[in-house]
Each structure stands twice: as structure tokens, then as C-alpha cells.
Structure 1
Amino acid sequence: MPKVNNTQYFKVQKDADTNVSDVIHSVFAALTEKGYNPVSQIVGYIMSGDPTYITSHKGARSLIMKVERDEIIEELLKFYIEKKCK
């Protein structure tokens, strides 16, 4: 019988189909459609980790939580560098 007083670890498998760029586009569209400032809301989410910054409209909140916040930052930074620094 395994010891239950030890810390248990588990790893969540990420969806192979989840594309960060697609997530950003979908979340942006849902926030815009609901009348929110998408930049402010996405920044709030990235900085705090609080998913309530993202509307649940069209499943945007569930969708953005499928990717790590650092992956979102990485995608945005890569896009910015490719467009502005080259």
C-alpha cells in the first residue's frame, strides 16, 4: 500500500492541437466582441494569472488556460521581434 503522507505528483498532458497563436486570436476576438479592451485584459491575465480577466464568452477563458502564460509571452515577443526588429 503506497504511503499517503508523501507529496503526490502528476503531470497534465497538453493538447497537441493547441496553437498559442490561435488561442490569442480567439481570445482577442471574444474580448472585443464583448466590448472589453483585449490588450488590457490579456495583460491583466498574464501578469496575475487570474483567469477572470478573460471572458467566458465563446469558451475564451477555458481556451487561454490550455496554454501556459509564458508561452503566450513568448509568442507575442517572437511576433513583435519579427515585425519590428528585423
Structure 2
Amino acid sequence: MKDKTMTFRIANDNEDVMKDTLTAVYDALKEKGYNPINQIVGYILSEDPTYITTHNNARSLIRKIDRDELLAEMVKYYLS
């Protein structure tokens, strides 16, 4: 039986690239008339790329971001 808390660490050196990519995906979703927040959350939870439009290459862009790193940055930003 495991009773110790596991440590989870993510090395993230590309915060600016991640922010720029997420902004581009957000803008592409908005341009196509989608609710960008809902679509991005759907993608993060399911890892199903069809939540993201192909408009402006957004689907390819978001797939370059590691979801664990993205979640870590979002939590860090929210709590700061």
C-alpha cells in the first residue's frame, strides 16, 4: 500500500511560446464563432484535437503544447 505523496514535476522553459500558441488558438476559435474557452477546455480534458479548429493552423499549433505543461502553467497563473 502506498501512503506517500508522489511528487510531480514539470520542467517548463517555454512559457512565452506556450502563451503565444494558446493566444493564436484562442483567436482562431473566436474567428470561427466558437467559444474558445469551452473548446480549449474540451481539448485539454479529452486530448481530442477535433475540439480545435483547423483555421489558421490552430489544431496543429495546440498539439505542439504538452498538456501537462499547459495545465501546470494555468494553475500557476491562476494562483499567482
TM-score, length basis structure 2: 0.76
- 2:52 corresponds to: 54
8 Å CA contact 1:21, 1:75 repeated in 2:
no
8 Å CA contact 1:51, 1:61 repeated in 2:
yes
Give the alignment's Cα RMSD to 1 decimal.
Answer: 1.5
Give the letter aligned to residue 35 of structure 2: N
- Segment of structure 1 superposing worse, 65-74 or 36-45: 65-74
Kindly provide the CA deviation profile for residues 14-39 of structure 1, in whole angstroms up to 9, marking residues without a partner as x: xx7x8111111111111011110011
Distance in 2 (CA, whole Å) between partners of 1:28 and 1:75 is: 16
TM-score, length basis structure 1: 0.71
Give the letter aligned to residue 52 of structure 2: I
Q: Which runs of 5+ in 2 are unaligned?
A: 1-13
Instruction: Give the number of aligned pairs.
Output: 66
Larger helix proportion of the pair: 2
Identity %: 55
Distance in 1 (CA, whole Å) between partners of 2:66 and 2:47 is: 10
8 Å CA contact 1:30, 1:60 repeated in 2:
yes
Greater C-alpha Rg: 1
> Residue 72 of structure 1: CA displacement?
1.4
Q: Which runs of 5+ in 1 are unaligned?
A: 1-15
